Amino acid sequence: MPETRPPLTVDEALRRASGRLTESDSARLDAELLLMHVLGVGRTWLYTWGDRPLDADAQDRFDALLARREAGWPVAYLVGRREFWGLELDTTAATLIPRPDTERLVEAALASAPRQAGALLDLGTGTGAVALAFACERPGWRVSAVDDSADAVALAAANAERLGLEVEVMISDWFSALAGRRFDVIVSNPPYIADDDPHLTRGDVRFEPRSALVADADGFAALETLVIGARTHLNVGGWLWLEHGFEQGATLRRRLEHHGYRDVATFEDLGGRERVTGGRWDGEPQKR
């Protein structure tokens, strides 16, 4: 008779999994998130019932997820969920994975939106993370989110519905579907990585959609497009905020000032690197 594999306890399974994930900087956390997903439980349950044995089906599904994580697949894609601004967002390989540093984009938008009502536009919304976080904090504002990917639009709309947040989500290649519309705040986390950047061969970004990461002109093409195009869609006194690479801040500040923006400022990310830059448009809305 074939030898029966003894069941592992929760603690044993997590220890073994952490040992397998040698390429991850967060091996224990990755293992916990994957096992929580398999068992449909929270972290408190894992800590409380560490001596509970896993049944064969749970162990098999856990092992399968571990194998994909060992191959480099992002945890957010494996479990289909990522937290951002305290919101649980569904994720798929059709969009970028929401990252903590992008919360600085939300903070910049909120700092520019002290009034109880207004209009915000999120360009290239992906999962809807930034738009949904803003809508959560400013329920009196009209929040719109666009993306040129139908899959991303469907995902963002589904996240908005599940979270009960009122956000208009639509397909648009940047401003193409927004003729005549004006906003008080425009935000975007656009592609800003150069095509030959070595970071594209490392970590989670290997599995994320390249179109959401890479831009021409050494990563600056989309940023320049948005700096110019936003002037047509900002109300006088409105703000544009853009996430960017940590070495692009100085150039972006110069481009914003060149194109007529005032009060140009930069926010640093959690690692102290320049990450979000923007400015206030105080001229008359530009004609195309």
**Residue 186 phi, psi (nearest 5):** -120, 130
Q: pLDDT tens across 70-107, in order? A: 999 999 999 999 999 999 999 999 999 999 999 999 99
Question: What does the alpha-carbon distance between residue 151 and residue 108 come to, in Å, rounded to a whole number?
Answer: 27
Tell me 193's DSSP state.
B
Q: pLDDT tens across 166-208, in order? A: 999 999 999 999 999 999 999 999 999 999 898 888 888 999 9
Of 50-54, 144-148, 278-282, 284-288, the range with the lowest mean pLDDT is: 284-288
In this prediction, residue 287 has a pLDDT band, given cuts at 50, 70 and 90, of very low
More confident residue, 3 or 59: 59
Average model confidence (pLDDT) across the chain: 94
CATH topology of domain 94-281: Rossmann fold (3.40.50)
22: its two tokens: 């040698």
Percent helix, strand and coil across the chain, each rounded to 5?
Answer: 45, 20, 35
State the pLDDT at residue 201: 85
**Topology agreement, domain 10-72 and domain 94-281:** no
Q: In the chain, what are the domain boundaries?
A: 10-72, 94-281
Domain 10-72 has CATH 1.10.8.10: yes
Question: What does the alpha-carbon distance between residue 232 and residue 175 come to, in Å, rounded to a whole number?
Answer: 9
**Predicted confidence (pLDDT) at residue 285 exceeds the cutoff of 80:** no
State the pLDDT at residue 288: 42
- Residues 229-236 have a mean pLDDT of 96
- 137 contacts: CB under 8 Å, gap ≥ 6: 106, 110
Tell me whether residue 40 is exposed, middle or buried, using C-beta atoms within 10 angstroms of its C-beta: 0 to 12, 13 to 18, 19 or more.
Answer: exposed
**Predicted confidence (pLDDT) at residue 153 exceeds the cutoff of 70:** yes
Identify whether the C-beta of residue 184 lies closer than 8 Å to the C-beta of residue 143. Answer: no
State the pLDDT at residue 4: 61
Identify whether the C-beta of residue 251 lies closer than 8 Å to the C-beta of residue 270. Answer: no
State the pLDDT at residue 284: 57
- 161 contacts: CB under 8 Å, gap ≥ 6: none
